[in-house]
Amino acid sequence: RQFTGNAAHELRTPLALMQARLELFSAEHPDVPPETAEFLALLREQTERLTQMTKTLLEMSNLQAVPRDDCIELAPLADEIVTDLTPLAQKKQITLHQECEDIHIIGSDALIYRMLFNLVENAIKYNQPGGSVQITISRSNGKAILRVADTGCGIPDEYRTSIFEPFFRVDKSRSREMGGAGLGLALVREIAALHGGTVQDEPAEGAGTVFTVALPM
């Protein structure tokens, strides 16, 4: 963890410098030939990807140190995530639905947001046009249950546990195309565990996947 954290930290500065210079160059040279514009766009896209990956690695190396004493109202948190992900959902022609009971838990507001965000983002990314995502928050046996169901491509049975391993992706080319590094679900599992909870996935009725996180209340 320490090595990952240090490495990620060291990568941040040169990456930020490269990104800033690229942005500046693109802004100062709006009339470059199409070939150069395409090349610049690719450089910007890939440095942005590296930056996101570095940020996630840094977060993952430091999770234990994040304070977990916020009182988190889960329904407004889900609202916020739906608002933040609506542009992506619209782009992919996915409808978002939610049904949330008034429940609160104690933990890290930022981490629980990140956990649910990653699940809903995946549910949109690995869905198909015209599909939907249903977020449900309820209580059962003294636990808060956060459920994200999608109508997407589903996850083959043999990969149901591997998907939570860092850098694991079922379809590498598809995930890469979507900008993923295979760290999203590893983070989800770590955040759930840090809060004394669990996460599991199962096939949805018909097609798609349901992710269920159970957290102590």
Residue 10 neighbours by CB distance under 10 Å:
11
Q: Which of residues 182-211 bind ligand ADP (CB under 6 A)?
A: 182-186, 209
For 124-148, letters b (16+ CB in 10 Å) and e give: bbbbeeebbbbbbbeeeeebbbbbb
Least Å distance, CB 106 to ligand ADP, is 26
| Window of 85-93, 95-103, 138-146, 176-184 that interacts with ligand ADP by CB under 6 A | 176-184
| Closest residue by Cα to residue 56 from 185, 203, 199 | 185
Q: Which listed residue (155, 192, 199, 214) binds ligand ADP by CB under 6 A? A: 155
Least Å distance, CB 109 to ligand ADP, is 21
**Terminal CA-CA length for the chain:** 29
How many whole angstroms separate alpha carbon 211 and alpha carbon 65?
A: 26
Rg (CA), the chain: 19
Is 131 a binding residue for ligand ADP by CB under 6 A? The answer is no
How many whole angstroms separate alpha carbon 116 and alpha carbon 145?
A: 11
Least Å distance, CB 48 to ligand ADP, is 14
Least Å distance, CB 83 to ligand ADP, is 20
Q: Which listed residue (81, 180, 190, 191) binds ligand ADP by CB under 6 A? A: 180
Is 81 a binding residue for ligand ADP by CB under 6 A? The answer is no
Residues that bind ligand ADP (CB under 6 A): 118, 122-123, 126, 150, 152-153, 155, 163, 168-171, 175, 180-186, 209
